[in-house]
Amino acid sequence: MLERDCIQSRGFQNTEKDGQIVGFQFTIRSLYYRGLWLSQLRPATVWVNTEEFGPETITWTIKRQTYTHEEMAKCGDIHWGLLDLATINVEKPGGLGPGLYEIRLSYTYSASYLPPRIDTLLGNQTHVRKLVMV
Amino acid sequence: MRIDKPGAKRGVSVFSYAGDYGVTMQLEDILADIHNMGARGLEILANSHIPDYPHPSEAWVERWFELLNKFDLVPVEYGHWVDSRLYAGRELTTEESLAMLVRDFKIAHMLGFRILRTKLGVIDETLTPVQNWKEFIQAALPYAEKYDVVMCPEIHEPTTLDSAMVQEYIEFIEQTGTKHFGLNIDFGIFREKKLPKDDEKGRPPFRHSRPEELGLYLPYVYCCHAKFIEMSDDLEELYIPYERIVSVLEEHNWDGYLLSEYEGFHRGEPGYASDQVRRHQAMLKRLIGE
């Protein structure tokens, strides 16, 4: 079972590459009732306390594959389902030290069966959660 | 397995449990809930309720039939979408739309569904479908025949029965003579009381259809979304005139499933759907004289 919030508490950790800490990651679930084809997603922004991380510093891992926003925009046949956790990977050399952080995440998506104006509004809530880096 | 009796029958859309699914309830819990209310018809949304959609595993498909059998449920309606705005900045081509349809026909057929709630992309506030809908639906008809499915766009508020869109759908059915395209009526089109969203900027003025208009359209209706907003402690729906709707269905001897679809104020919150759906099923049971 998943936690009710979009941002899950399990999965918040630093990421390593070649023995160096290169960033951090956390996991989310889709609050949209039918999940999303990856190309429906619009670029995400993350904030940690007051520090902003733009779309160019973020990749998504869904079903064990990692994508940039540009790559996702072309993936119209890969579906992020309601039971699939997505991992948001954020570049930040050195990562985050132990402690409590306020994590915020924002992204929108298209929904073709609703008026086109809705595409910029749906999901246009910022997901917020305080997470502990162990 | 019981044999379906002709007339209006009770079912539930798993969409009603959107707040619980994956958080407090798994599909099996939801199906157990539906069975316990005495409903037999089931609607799932492909994208929402099939793990690994659009490539469900063999093990899951096997489990699906085990669950239907365990809870004596009938797979009535399969919800799917033609996501016309799948890619930013352009609409799907006719060929791409057709491929999306056929992919779902195969899955629906494999899972035992005949009726599809086919949600088309729209271009405006009154939910007018994309301009090439006739082309890809026409192209899909032979495949629908092959996989024995009926595509049913959902007539959903703010669309009304007297709209040009419904007229176009009916003309399409009449002209092609097809048995593989029809309508799903969402009872939200009969909602008489306003909701806060009706006053949102950009929405068309609040209008609704009357149940008494429905008879004319029933020959094209394969399934209904028994939409509801709020059930009272007296087991009455507070926004939609159910008694009048059911009496029109009975008057025309309509045969099919009414799928309870909760879309009330606590939609998406865990812990509300089960009680609300149960109340709604109690009301339907009384109204259809089961």
pLDDT digits (tens, 9 = 90+) for B209-233: 999 999 999 999 999 999 999 999 9
List C-alpha distances in Å: A63 to A67, B81, B259, B286: 11, 22, 32, 46
pLDDT band at B1 (very low <50, low <70, confident <90, very high): very low
Higher pLDDT, A14 or B204: A14
A31/A107 Cα distance (integer angstroms): 12
| Per-residue pLDDT at B3 exceeds 80 | no
What's the domain range around B26? Answer: 8-287
Instruction: Give how many domains chain B has, as a whole number.
Output: 1
The answer to whether the Cβ–Cβ distance between A112 and B121 falls below 8 Å is yes
Active site residues of B: 156
Option in B23, B47, B83 nearest A1 (CB): B23
- Report CA torsion sign: A38, B157, B190, B268: positive
CA distance A20 to chain B (A): 34
The CATH number for B22's domain is 3.20.20.150
pLDDT digits 0-9 by tens, B249-279: 999 999 999 999 999 999 989 999 999 999 9
State the pairing for strand pair A127-133/B8-13.
Answer: unpaired
Residue A117 is which amino acid? Answer: R
Residue B2 lies in a domain: no
ipTM: 0.95
Residue B3 lies in a domain: no
Q: Phi and psi at residue B26, in whole multiples of 5°?
A: -95, 170
User: From the centroid of its chain, how far is CA B179?
Assistant: 18
Residue B193 lies in a domain: yes
Q: Helix crossing, B27-36 with B273-287: angle to 10°?
A: 30
Residue B145 lies in a domain: yes
Helix (H) or strand (E) holding B101: helix B94-110
- Report CA torsion sign: A82, A87, A90, A94: positive
Nearest residue to B190 (alpha-carbon basis) of B242, B121, B255: B242
Cβ contacts of A2 on chain B, cutoff 8 Å: 22-23
